[in-house]
Amino acid sequence: MPQIEVENLVKTFRVAERQAGTWGALKGLLQRRSRTVRALDGISFTMEVGELVGYIGPNGAGKSTTVKILSGILIPDSGRCVVMGRIPWKARTAHVAEIGVVFGQRTQLWWDLPVIESFDLLREIYRIPPREYLRTRDELVAMMRLEPLLDTPVRQLSLGQRMRCDLAAAFLHRPKLLFLDEPTIGLDAASKLAVRDYIKRLNRQGVSVILTTHDMDDIEALCRRILLINRGRILFDGALEALRAQVSRDRQLVIVLAHEETWVEDPDAQVIRRNGHHLTLRFDPERISAADLIARITARYEIRDLYVENPPIEEIVAQIYYEEGTAL
């Protein structure tokens, strides 16, 4: 049985329309105008135990609405949603005891208290048996190297340190399912790598993860499967490579020229970027193989270095958003 089953989920919100100016504000007091926004327009998917799914889409696409419904914060207008055999909002306390949620933008730790005190309080909140708590905590502290941070008040932590502590905090009660909402937002490169590594390790322990992010490097590093949502509908559900193939088969050959002024031309490839000695060519591997193209180019021009790469996932996603007519 899938861990998450979502079928035809619909959620609409009423948004109050404010009128401009003082007069508008006064009028708004008497008659409220509102319009209905369809945040989720019938989404369906299933997820198995142990999966790590990337949930992507532009701002306002319906990502957080989905996560809020799955975690029991919001009740949908219609549709079916079963998570670990439960309807989240019908059994709130039982449900949330088995999930963990991290918001990258906010902390769930107590601002003025040392990290360890927050952990201890969470033990009480989740009613974790003391021995089990100590085992999990020590394990997480060792894995994420939190030892030097434990006695520091949360407000004094750097963003990267705080994120590590928040990840650990969300995992203290050993949830079977983790929701991570932009866990790498605002982090420096080293912290990002560390956080990704921890996510991977938690997932390897059998925890399912739904990762919402705008950082395509997160997706490439972590997710075998992605769900792409826009305007409340799921546009794509599958492997990253399949998404790439669906949008375009093109690959890119980057060459470093010996002489900047060299003019490069090829019947089967197209120059898409030129930056000093660096030149990016796009080609369709069905028309010409990478090996043939490289052989031809190196025979004709003086090349210092070259490599083949996939178009960045950002470009692919941007193209889909664009085709959908979303202004970004």
Residues at the site binding another protein, with contacts judged by CB under 8 A: 13-14, 65, 68, 71-75, 89, 92-94, 96-97, 99, 101, 103, 106, 108, 110, 112-113, 117, 121, 124-127, 153
CB of residue 217 to another protein, shortest distance in Å: 26
Please say which residue, 112 or 302, places its beta carbon nearer to another protein.
Answer: 112
What is the Cα–Cα distance from 70 to 46, expressed in whole angstroms?
Answer: 12
CB of residue 200 to another protein, shortest distance in Å: 23
Helix (H, G, I), strand (E, B) or coil at 313: helix
CB of residue 273 to another protein, shortest distance in Å: 41
Contact assessment for residue 163 and residue 107, using Cβ atoms and an 8 Å cutoff: no
173 burial via Cβ count (<10 Å: 0-12, 13-18, 19+):
buried
CB of residue 59 to another protein, shortest distance in Å: 15
What is the Cα–Cα distance from 294 to 10, expressed in whole angstroms?
Answer: 50
CB of residue 156 to another protein, shortest distance in Å: 12
Please say which residue, 100 or 311, places its beta carbon nearer to another protein.
Answer: 100
What is the Cα–Cα distance from 172 to 135, expressed in whole angstroms?
Answer: 10
What is the Cα–Cα distance from 170 to 167, expressed in whole angstroms?
Answer: 5
66: which 2 tokens?
Answer: 């989905």
Please say which residue, 118 or 203, places its beta carbon nearer to another protein.
Answer: 118
CB of residue 216 to another protein, shortest distance in Å: 25
* Residue tagged 């979303």 (tokens): 326
Please say which residue, 74 or 229, places its beta carbon nearer to another protein.
Answer: 74
Please say which residue, 119 or 321, places its beta carbon nearer to another protein.
Answer: 119
Please say which residue, 37 or 256, places its beta carbon nearer to another protein.
Answer: 37
E-strand ranges in the chain read 4-17, 33-47, 52-56, 78-83, 99-103, 177-181, 208-212, 225-230, 233-239, 251-257, 269-275, 278-283, 303-309
Please say which residue, 125 or 295, places its beta carbon nearer to another protein.
Answer: 125
* Residue tagged 């049985």 (tokens): 1
Amino acid at position 1, single letter: M
What is the Cα–Cα distance from 191 to 320, expressed in whole angstroms?
Answer: 30
CB of residue 97 to another protein, shortest distance in Å: 4
CB of residue 37 to another protein, shortest distance in Å: 12
Cα–Cα nearest to 59, from 181, 218, 220: 181
In a 13 Å sphere around the CA of 272, the CA atoms on its Cβ side amount to 12
Please say which residue, 168 or 216, places its beta carbon nearer to another protein.
Answer: 168
